[in-house]
Structure 1
Amino acid sequence: MSSETSTIGDPFADPIAEVARAEVVIEDTLIVGRNATLTLGTDSLVILDSKNTRALPFHNVLWAEFSELDLTIRFAQQVSKEFIQPAFISYPIEKTNRLTAEAWLSKLLDRAYGESQRRKRMKVLINPFGGKGNAQKLYSRDIEPIFLAARSVIDVEMTQYQGHAVEIAEKLDIETYDVVACCSGDGLPHEVFNGLGNRRDARKALSKVAVVQLPCGTGNAMSWNLNGTGSPSLAALHIVKGIQTPLDLVSITQSNRRFLSFLSQSVGIVAESDLATEHLRWMGENRFTYGFLVRLLRKTVYPCDLAVKVTVEDKQSIRQQYRQELNDRAPVGSRANRPAETEGTSEGLPPLKYGTVEDDLPDGWELAAYDTLGNFYAGNMAWMAANANFFPAALPSDGNIDLVCIDGHIGRLTALKSFLAVESGTFYDMEHVSYRKVESFRIIPRNQKTGYISIDGEKVPFEPFQAETHRGLGTVLSKSGHIYEAPGV
């Protein structure tokens, strides 16, 4: 049984009482009531009472506090594989044991939260129109009880129209909130990042306020990557315990417009399979599969010209880079390594290193013709949907976009195998899949008057655009603090 000396203290308390408190030895086991003990184990709180013995993972401990005579511990209780709800246990504490119990409680909360901030102050945005229109119900039933049990400070607002979250983020008091929590699909986080990016103090706002998603839409890629789940209640727990994590954001320039992307940019079969099937939303996620197979059978190609600023060219080097970060979080995941130009400043967005799509091609970039392009897909996260791990080498803050290009003239059987390989985890190693780490790119579609370009799942004009990465410009909450939850390479 280990022990340590308590450092808990109130500067306004009685000095004599403080001396007594400082000398309290914090034991891992606290005796409560007559026949019960609470023990701080390696990963769990071990509860032994007259009824049974059970282990409660520290990750599930939401809060602990005293009433006048009782110690109450609130936790997330597993109801089913995809649903949790708050529960609590309460035990009497003898007055003579109060100092020891207070010190033990503090140690419990330290174990339960670790690097994560307690009692996060959250601006909750609910999109009542997203997905199947169930976001408000999901929030009230699955999410809010978890936030309240964790003693989070919450302020809820409904978005009224497309672009409303942009306006809210532009006016947000960033000294009042730690988190903007989006009960929606991936569209609301896209709006929030851009609202924060529109501010005069954009870099400070994007560094200070974490943007998170609670999966209440049809596209919940952000939650899958950062929380490892599409369950609203589980995502709520992981956000309560989430660790601030720097996130690369990508500046997109198109015509005279500049905006931010946090998830993906696509031209070709993926963009068309998503955006051209909006009329099939009643099919749910199956509409994407349907759209893909239709275009696959037609062997549709998307001619374009492409220039890239490559960082890592070969798959083996990319794999080595990923595995280094998997084993050592400090080089990429640490907030101390956020680039100086993106943190601690009241200025707007960082200047564009490579200019805009309207400028001459940057020095060293060569424009190459892709006459038979089948798929152009650039990603800043790994999962693009549940079981769609298109970018298994993606990292939250490595300063790169992961770029996949596939020729449209590959055989139908090979194309179908590629589609199935995304779910099975073998996509990355397929010989015909070009996978590169790039800092920036410019793509110019041609030979088509109309088509589809998707940025974070949102349709933008079918025109040339340029993308440039800003390392660690944004902030999110993640379970690990440095990697995504998707299986890596």
Structure 2
Amino acid sequence: MASLSPSGSDPFIDPIEEVVEDEALEDSVLVVGRDASLTLATDSLIVLVADENLTRRKTLNCCGLIPSSSKTTQAIPFFNVLWAELSDFELTLTYARPTSENVVRVASIHYLVEKAERRKTIAWISKLLDRAYGESQRRKRIKVLVNPFGGKGSAQKWYLRDIEPIFAAARCEVDVERTAYRGHAVEIAAKLDPDAYDVIASCSGDGLPHEVFNGLGKKKDARRALSQVAVVQLPCGTGNAMSWNLNGTDSTSVAALCIVKGIRTPLDLVSITQGDKRTLSFLSQAVGVVAEVDLGTENIRWMGSARFTYGFLVRLLGKTVYPADIAVKVDIPTKASIREHYRKELSNRSDFNSRRDPSIVGDSTLPGLRYGSVQDPLPADWSLVSHDKLGNFYSGNMAFMAPNANFFPAALPNDGYTDLVTVDGDISRSAAIKSLMAVENDTFFDMVHVNYRKISGYRIIPKGQRSGYISIDGERVPFEPFQAEVHRGLGTVLSRSGHLYEAKGVAINTEG
């Protein structure tokens, strides 16, 4: 789970000391009554009290018998501050308090404010909220879609228990709708007024965000809708890859906090053409062992997540191959150049619009296809290459494909590329097993037999099989040729950083 404090330690264990700049000290400290003060420090709100309202333990005297009246200090990270307001003469601070490693709950503290201090208190609240929200939009207008079948039927319960209280405490405007059938979210998003909402949040797995992107893509003003409305996930499914990438968690309550504090981030989307149909992909496309493991193990769902490991082992040890003809528009061909590309992005703090392809800006329908569709002749600079021993063809737009599955550590939200991994199916059994383990310990990228490239388009034509599995964002599509093309920054999401995923990136100080 992503840390709720910069240090990664429990931010609510006292005492915590923070340095406040001398020149800002007076405006940063609010004295409330005789026994408490509230200080805006570097990363946290410091609460100094003389009672036990916020502390977990009592301070004892030297004999350990009689409680003393010593003041206690506690810190609430600004990221956890949800709201603050002055009503009549009562100051109320609402925040998300960790109750365990993966759970936060709404909590509040209250102080009476003297009449003479009202003006200073109002100014102090303004400064607090500025620090608490930073680049993030306050009081977001959120359209919530709840998949009643998500989380084995628990999505509705999780929303009411974990998510709704946090949205309410942050003063978000929320409109909730349950999806009734497959494809319903496509219809809802297609009819959505993009001026009425800032966010569409799916209480689901990765299937509903896929539908939402495609629903927005059907609108006459698709480009504006996709740029204006952020698509997010409240993790109520099995993989929850979108939340892992953008929020660093699959906790529903922590994800709700991350969405409240999320920063608008452009997201590359990928057009998939298959036959005469065009769809949008936000996560990944797979042909070969990954697709088959994901979609071909439904009969052993009783094994839980272990079914994926079992499926991989069976196919890797059996040296299963998936022959195909592949043409790729390669933009960054080597691991060394990919590392350098990723290194530059670490310090890139350019604004929202500069992270989008200027050609997609506007109010019209989806942008045209630079490389044509799968039914058109190949672009002149693409060559169709036969891969008779292909074991895995995996194209990722995000880093995590599942918990502990950082397949694409060099993936970036809006660099205009998708990351392509290909692995031959006839590698040794020991190499196959090492590959499976390497994904979990973040060494997959560096393996010699892993071909990793950044690309902007491709066409793949399966051959030698009448049927098989192709996965687009985890959804099964017909087993037939398809073509992909990246659109830089066409979509919008909310992320913690505003420009990176919450995954461990590629090492940048080694040879590639």
The question of a shared fold, defined as TM-score above 0.5 by the shorter chain, is answered with yes
Q: How does 1:199-238 map to 2 (within 5 A)?
A: 199-238=219-258
Q: Which of 100, 109, 118 is the matching residue for 1:98?
A: 118
Q: State the shift of 1:3 in Å.
A: 8.2
Q: Give the share of equivalent positions with the same residue, in percent.
A: 65
Shift, 1:334, TM fit: 3.4
Q: Which amino acid aligns with 1:204?
A: R
1:339 maps to a residue whose letter is: D
RMSD of aligned Cα (Å): 1.3
Match of 2:176 among 137, 146, 156: 156
Contact (CA 8 Å) 1:401, 1:469: kept in 2 or not?
A: yes
Q: Structure 1 residue 434 and structure 2 residue 451: aligned?
A: yes
Q: How many residues align?
A: 467
Identify the residue that residue 359 of structure 2 maps to in structure 1: 341
Contact kept, 8 Å, 1:244 with 1:475, in 2: the verdict is yes
Do the aligned partners of 2:234 and 2:243 also contact (CA within 8 Å) in 1? yes
| Cα drift, residue 340 of structure 1 | 2.0
8 A contact 1:2–1:28 mirrored in 2: no
Runs of 4+ in 1 over 4 A off after TM superposition: 1-5
Query: Counterpart amino acid of 2:504?
Result: P
- Alpha-carbon distance between aligned partners in 2 of 1:172 and 1:337, rounded to the nearest angstrom: 25
What are the residue-to-residue correspondences of 1:15-164 with 2, within 5 Å? 27-51=27-51, 52-164=72-184
Residue 26 of structure 1 and its aligned partner are, at CA, apart by 6.7
**Secondary structure at the residue paired with 2:92?**
strand
TM-score under structure 2 length normalisation: 0.90
AA partner of residue 372 (structure 1) = K
Q: Is the 8 A contact 1:251 1:259 kept in 2?
A: yes
Q: TM-score when scaled to structure 1?
A: 0.94
Q: Is the 8 A contact 1:398 1:471 kept in 2?
A: yes
Q: Secondary structure at the match of 1:405?
A: strand
Aligned ranges for residues 412-423 of structure 1 at < 5 Å?
412-423=429-440
Task: Tell me which of 198, 203, 218 is aligned to 2:218.
Answer: 198
Q: Which amino acid aligns with 1:362?
A: P
The match for 1:399 among 416, 423, 441 is: 416
Shift of 1:297: 2.3
Match status 1:379 vs 2:399: no
Change (3 A) 1:26 1:189: farther
Distance, in Å, in 1 between the alignment partners of 2:21 and 2:31 is 15
Q: What per-residue deviation string (whole Å, max 9, x for no partner) do you get for residues 128-183 of structure 1? A: 11231111111111111111111111000000000000000000011110000000
Shift of 1:97: 0.6
Per the TM alignment, residue 292 of structure 1 is displaced from its structure 2 partner at its CA by: 1.1
Contact 2:355–2:415 (8 Å) recurs in 1: no
Within 2, Cα distance between the matches of 1:414 and 1:340? Answer: 44
Shift of the alpha carbon at 1:480?
0.1
Does the Cα contact within 8 Å between 1:207 and 1:342 map onto a contact in 2? no
Match of 2:263 in 1: 243
Match for residue 14 of structure 1? none
Q: In 1, Cα distance between the equivalents of 2:33 and 2:184?
A: 52
> For 1:222-242, what per-residue CA distance to the aligned partner results, in whole angstroms no more than 9, with x for missing partners?
000000001010010011000
Query: For residue 447 of structure 1, what is the aligned residue in structure 2?
Result: 464
Amino acid at match of 1:398: D
> Residues 431 and 2 from structure 1, CA distance in 2 versus in 1: closer, same or farther, beyond 3 angstroms?
closer
Query: What does 1:474-489 correspond to in 2, within 5 Å?
Result: 474-489=491-506
1:307 counterpart SS class: strand
Task: Report deviation, 1:124.
Answer: 0.2
Quick one: which amino acid aligns to residue 130 of structure 1? G
Q: Which residue of 2 aligns with 1:11?
A: none
Deviations 1:408-460 (A, max 9, x none): 00011101100110000100000000000000000000000000000000000
AA at the equivalent of 1:69: F
Note the 1:182-331 alignment, pairs <5 A: 182-330=202-350
SS in 1 for 2:266: strand
Ranges in structure 2 where 5+ consecutive residues have no aligned partner:
1-19, 52-71, 507-512
SS state of the match for residue 45, structure 1? Answer: strand
